[in-house]
Structure 1
Amino acid sequence: MDSLNRKQEAVDLSHHINVKSKSRHPSPLKEIIKFMGYDGMISLAGGLPHPSLFPLDRAKFDCLPPSASLGDQSRETDLVSLNLGRGLSPGDLDLTQFLQYGTGAGNQQLIQLAQDLTEQVHAPPCHYECLLHPGNTNAWSKVVGLLCEDNDFVIVEEFTYPSAQALWIPLGIKAAPVSADAEGILATNLREMLENWDEKLRGSRRPRVLYLVSVGSNPTGITISAKRRREIYQVCVEFDLVIVEDDPYYFLQYPGYSPQAEEQPYQPKSTGDFLKSLTPSFLSMDTQGRVIRLESFSKTIFPGLRLGYFIANPLFTERLLRATEVETQDPAGLSQAFTLALFNQWGLMDIYCGFRFTVVSAAKSPLPTAQGHVACLQDKENGKLRPVFSFVDPEAGMFVWSKFYFGGVARFVELEAQSIEDPEQAFAQELWEAMVAELVLLTPGSYYHAWQGPDKASTKARGLIHDLPFSVFLLLLQR
């Protein structure tokens, strides 16, 4: 706890809190709960069912050890058991506290574990607090409810997670997309957009929120480099932006890809080596308290937990707690109990550093400006290479982002001649349907276009027409 006391004070960011969030008050019923734990308290308040009425008395979970290798045929014999119960012999963890209503912040032991993990992995320079939430989708919804007003703009990557947009589109909020290269969004482009923002033309104030999936981006698979993060952070300081770091894939970072590399046997890393291999987070360089980090256990344990936590400036977590009290209350008690018991059994870092997932370069292709690698067909007569698709080899996460090139393809030429409003999208839809017919399922890249309003729904309107037309698809990496 001494390290938390030595943190820098955040700058005043209270002006970022929107009108709705400023008007929130603590739930009076949640205020009562903290007194119910007093020894000898006779509680006639709150409407809490008596624990003797709960039908669940004991639960046992057989789990893999953190050193287990996926595909290991002997792993069934190496299971470790988590025993949760109630009464005089509760086992590894007393279930009673997790079956009752909570305070909204979450179980204090689990919050302390989140703080310990945050210190070990990120060591934020500024004061922060952790607050549990039921998954990053809900967490982002609460952040939008904290920071954004109706008809605002949110800065996002050129291609961004569709569910992140779907929740704010009904509020009249639009995306202000920033292009990216292999190291992430370009700080120079971000600065240029903010410097030249015309409130009259845009019909809205300059954006004040930057939303990023900064490691293993969904969908592009890009991880923002440490150098680029520092550049982006400086722009955010200069233009007073809050960075929302949605990072469910942070612990799924991979070594660099090489087509010539031989497959290596799985070797768990030591905690120190594992931490050194991770790209520094925005949180780790946040000297002003302007980063709200969304952590999730969905990708490192399993998605059905619906459990994660905020790491943020106490100014923000206090308002987020007020929303939690009246919107979702605590995350599911059994999810909290299972996660705490698993960490107690496995250890704080073993869950991450032990349980890991185990063409032509662009520069030599007809598309030297493409990112990653390009697959080509070679003309038998003249030897020229014709690009078919390119892909970015993921440094983290679960996705491969591919561009399919169809300039000169006969069917695409036909569609262009028919004066279709969006021939690129029409051809991409036909291509997708043809792949489905062959039992190959990809996610259309059109799902990830930044929503800039109904007047920018077509490829041409978004300014994405190129000399060599292409469409994008997302491939899911199976863990």
Structure 2
Amino acid sequence: MASTSSAAKPKAIDLSHHLNELSRSRVPSPLKDIIKYMKEPGMISLAGGLPHPDLFPFAEITATSYVPDVDLRSTSGEDIHSTLNFSIPKNVSPSHQNTLSAALQYGTSYGSANLSSFIREFTSRVMNPAYSDFEILLDSGNTDAWNKVVNILCEFGDYILVEEHTYPSSQAVWAPMKCIGVPISIDKNGLIPESLHDTLKNWNNTHPGVKRPHLLYTVPVGHNPTGSTLSLERKKKIYEICVEYDIIICEDDPYYFLQFPPYTLRPSSSETQKTAENPVAFDRQAYIESLVPTFISLDVQGRVIRLDTFSKTLGPGNRLGYFVCNPLFAERILRATEVTTQSPSGLSQALVEGLLTSWGQDGYLRWLSGLRDSYTSRRNWMCEIMAETFDLLPSPQNITDDVVAVQKGHASTKDTFPYFSFSFPKGGMFLWIKLYLAHNATYQDLKTTSSSGAVATAKWAEAFWMDLIKEKVLLVPGSYYTPIVGNNERMIQDSDVVFFRVAFSYETKEEMKIGIERMAVVIQRWWNGEASA
């Protein structure tokens, strides 16, 4: 990821034809214009209805954070030597530009200029956008950001390109607009470029008289729900296809810094797989180069809108993230922001700004590297517990996942069959399992009495999920991630298979083990014919 000087990079091309009528019609908020004039030297403002900072109840906020190189996999984070303090006073001083008088006040919808400057430098160093005039615009997290993307680009009834398993909340944004998802096939390595190309190439034949989609929504790293991560080669192919067919890419990337080294299945007697210990000296460049480059690093035209967030790195309750996009889209999003959410929470901005400036650019990268190590350990725990609870076998040719799970102790029997399959996550927080129902008697009985295999699958999945809940283990049904393909109707899933998402991000290793053991009890009950739908 060699850096290229801004002078050598092109500027974003004109993509204004992608804006919807609502976005083109927005005008600046007059009240926001007033705020910028208030900052002129010598100005006496009798205009804005701003509360006086002396009447804010907070005099100073002092925070204690971890140092960026703390080992999050041990208890060392509780050691006083692993922490640092920073404060946010009410008023500005030579040593404190980050103040409560500014954080708690009305301001421009751009948000904190200092925080935006930190993020811009970070983006330039780590993401290396391929065009020179990219903009940074703060938002209230990626859900807020995606809502704004939809509201500047999509008209009622538009078709939107999505992965065949896609994040549910992203659909809830555009479903009231009667938009329609166009499912693109994915595998254990993410969105399949050839499927995207075939969909667009054949659009006029498959959808005669219907406007072709012009927006692709994708979660490219640690995909939610499947855990897949797009390679650089796939990203290049997808970007080229989007240039060919004039598609805007929304790169929703909350798990970007949670990219894992490969997991190798080991015999049950082998030693637990471990992540690398923290190095004595952190190698910033080596860490950056270990990450798959982003879509914006390929984007010479400004057709990628990147959604970045602090939710998975500093805490979702901050409700703070940012866009990386071309100036046209940033300006239109800003106009919408002025009359809706305004700027993100001032307190959140101030705390995050204080933390990041205390750590510095390299310190933040060091923290992110430590997070990756911690979530890698959690991924490893989940895979190891699966191997302890079931026999995991290499997948046969007709199954594209990494392994299939069979009943413990039955790996060598001739009549063995897979309960489910999964691939080892390459990033993120989730493991995606695919249950096979061909050998499930309850499901086969349902098929004989149901109007279709899809109806039988849905009934079986609901009953199985409720049984999991009764056993006190909670998974997310795969049906939640099925694209909406019209009139709030979801894409019909294949018969004979059911998906579930299993998270390894939250529970302890001991709780994970109990949860997977409970899942195994339910699976055996249903495959032994001891449960009914």
Would you say same fold, with TM above 0.5? yes
Task: Give the count of matched residue pairs.
Answer: 473
CA displacement at 1:383 relative to structure 2: 2.4
Per the alignment, residue 426 of structure 1 pairs with 459
- Percent identity reads 42
- Report how far residue 325 of structure 1 moved: 0.6
Instruction: State the Cα distance separating 1:444 from its structure 2 match.
Output: 0.5
Residues 381 and 55 of structure 1: CA distance in aligned 2, closer, same or farther (over 3 Å): closer
Which residue in 2 is equivalent to 1:227?
A: 233
Equivalent in the alignment of 2:103: 98
Cα distance in 2 between the residues matched to 1:20 and 1:454: 23
Q: Do residues 464 (structure 1) and 494 (structure 2) align?
A: yes
Amino acid at match of 2:458: Q
Shift of 1:106: 1.0
Aligned to 1:353: 366
Distance in 1 (alpha carbons) for counterparts of 2:183 and 2:89? 50
Kept after mapping to 2: 8 A contact 1:33/1:102: yes
Paired residue type of 1:471? V
* 1:163 partner amino acid: S
Asked if the contact 1:361–1:373 (Cα under 8 Å) also holds between the matched residues in 2, the reply is no
Q: Does the 8 A contact of 2:161 with 2:181 survive in 1?
A: yes
**Distance of 2:189 and 2:225 partners within structure 1:** 14
The residue number in structure 2 matching 1:283 is 296
Q: How has the CA–CA distance of structure 1 residues 381 and 300 changed in structure 2, closer, same or farther, with 3 Å as cutoff?
A: closer
Letter of the 1:303 counterpart: P
Deviations 1:3-44 (A, max 9, x none): 444431222211001100000011010011011112221111
For 1:474, give the aligned amino acid: R
Q: Deviations along 1:286-313, whole A, 9 cap, x unmatched?
A: 0111000001000000000000110001
Q: Which residue of 2 aligns with 1:204?
A: 210
Q: Which moved further from structure 2: 103-112 or 364-373?
A: 364-373
**Structure 1 counterpart of 2:479, which letter?**
S
Question: 188, 204, 222: which one pairs with 1:182?
Answer: 188
- Counterparts in 2 of 1:187-266, with a 5 A limit? 187-198=193-204, 201=207, 204-260=210-266, 262-264=273-275, 266=277
Show the counterpart of 1:86: 90
**Aligned with 2:36 (options 28, 34, 37):** 34
Q: When the two structures are superposed, what TM-score results if normalisation uses the length of structure 1? A: 0.93
Bigger helix fraction: 2
How far the C-alpha of 1:381 sits from its partner, in A, is 9.4
Question: In structure 1, what is the Cα distance between the partners aligned to 2:339 and 2:6?
Answer: 29
Name the CA shift for 1:58/1:416 in 2 (closer, same or farther; >3 Å): same
Mapped to 2, the partners of 1:345 and 1:257 lie a distance apart of 35
Structure 1 residue matching 2:203: 3-state secondary structure: coil
- Counterparts of 2:214 and 2:411 in 1: how far apart (Å)? 54
Note the aligned Cα RMSD (angstroms).
2.3
Asked if residue 145 in structure 1 is aligned to residue 151 in structure 2, the reply is yes
Write the distance in 1 (CA, Å) between the matches of 2:92 and 2:333: 37
- Structure 2 CA distance for aligned equivalents of residues 88 and 104 of structure 1: 21
Contact 2:187-2:400 at 8 Å conserved across structures = no
Give the conservation status (yes or no) of the 8 Å contact 2:220–2:253: yes
Cα offsets for 1:245-293 (capped at 9, x unmatched) = 0001101111111123632453154211110110010000001110000
What letter is aligned with 1:11? I
| C-alpha separation in 2, matches of 1:424 and 1:447 | 14
Within 2, Cα distance between the matches of 1:381 and 1:285? 48
Q: Structure 2: give runs of 5+ residues left out of the alignment.
A: 267-271, 375-386, 507-533
Q: How does 1:396-415 map to 2 (within 5 A)?
A: 396-415=427-446
Q: Is the 8 A contact 2:193 2:237 kept in 1?
A: yes
Code of the aligned partner of 1:433: M
**Aligned CA distance change for structure 1 residues 381 and 87 (closer, same or farther; 3 Å):** closer
SS of the residue corresponding to residue 371 of structure 2 reads coil
Task: Say yes or no: does 1:295 pair with 2:308.
Answer: yes
**Secondary structure of 1:116 counterpart:** helix
Q: Find the counterpart in structure 1 of residue 475 from structure 2.
A: 442
Aligned twin of 2:378: none
After TM superposition, the structure 1 = structure 2 runs for residues 310-329 of structure 1, keeping only pairs within 5 Å, are 310-329=323-342
Tell me if 1:474 matches 2:501.
yes
User: Could you say which residue in structure 1 is the equivalent of 2:419?
Assistant: 388
1:113, distance to aligned residue in structure 2 (A): 0.9
**Cα offset, 1:2, TM superposition:** 10
Instruction: Output aligned runs, 1:65-80, within 5 Å.
Output: 65-76=67-78, 77=80, 78-80=82-84
> Are 1:197 and 1:206, in contact at CA under 8 Å, matched by a contact in 2?
yes
- Give the Cα–Cα distance (whole angstroms) in 1 for the partners of residues 413 and 60 of structure 2: 72
**How much does 1:197 deviate?**
1.1
Q: Structure 1, residues 369-416: CA drift from partner, whole Å, max 9, x if none?
A: 322221123759952431011112111111111111121211111211
Contact 1:156 1:175 (C-alpha < 8 Å) held by counterparts? yes
Deviation at 1:171, TM superposition (A): 0.3
Indicate if the aligned counterparts of 2:422 and 2:434 stay in contact, CA closer than 8 A: yes
- Greater shift after overlay, 39-48 or 371-380? 371-380
Matched, 1:13 2:10: no
How far residue 139 of structure 1 moved from its aligned partner, in angstroms, is 0.3
- 5+ residue gaps, structure 1, are none
Q: 2:518: which partner in 1?
A: none
Q: TM-score, normalised by structure 2?
A: 0.84
Distance 1:25 1:412 in 2: 57
Quick one: structure 1 residues 473 and 82, their matched pair in 2 at CA, closer, same or farther if it must change by over 3 Å?
same
**Residue in 1 that maps onto 2:122:** 117
2:406–2:418 contact (8 Å) kept in structure 1: yes
